[in-house]
Amino acid sequence: MSGTSWSWHSSSTIITWVCLAVMFITYIVQQSPKNRVFLVDALTHRIGRLAALGAACSGITYAITLYYIPLFYAFVHGASPL
């Protein structure tokens, strides 16, 4: 919401981005090759790449559907958000 709801120079925005960066770096550092959440080695195999591609396509389809169906009803049928 930076820029639209909060000013880029506000303390809330800066603290939010700093906390996000710290959590992301901590997450990456704590990942050992033995206990990874996402196994990068799985992408070296054909089945692993196909599974990742299928999951990405499913997520994209879901996101597009979730975004465009409410817009369709809002603009075509004049439905309100509530």
Give the total number of structural domains in the chain: 2
Residues 24 and 52 in one domain: no
Positive or negative torsion for Cα 18, 24, 27, 28: negative
Domain that residue 67 falls in: 39-82
16-52 pLDDT, tens digit per residue, is 899 999 999 998 888 887 878 777 777 788 998 899 8
Residues 47 and 79 in one domain: yes
Q: Report d(CA 8, CA 12) in Å as an integer.
A: 9
Residues 49 and 81 in one domain: yes
Question: Where residue 9 falls among pLDDT bands split at 50, 70, 90?
Answer: confident
* Report field, pTM of the whole predicted structure over 0.75: no
Amino acid at 66: L
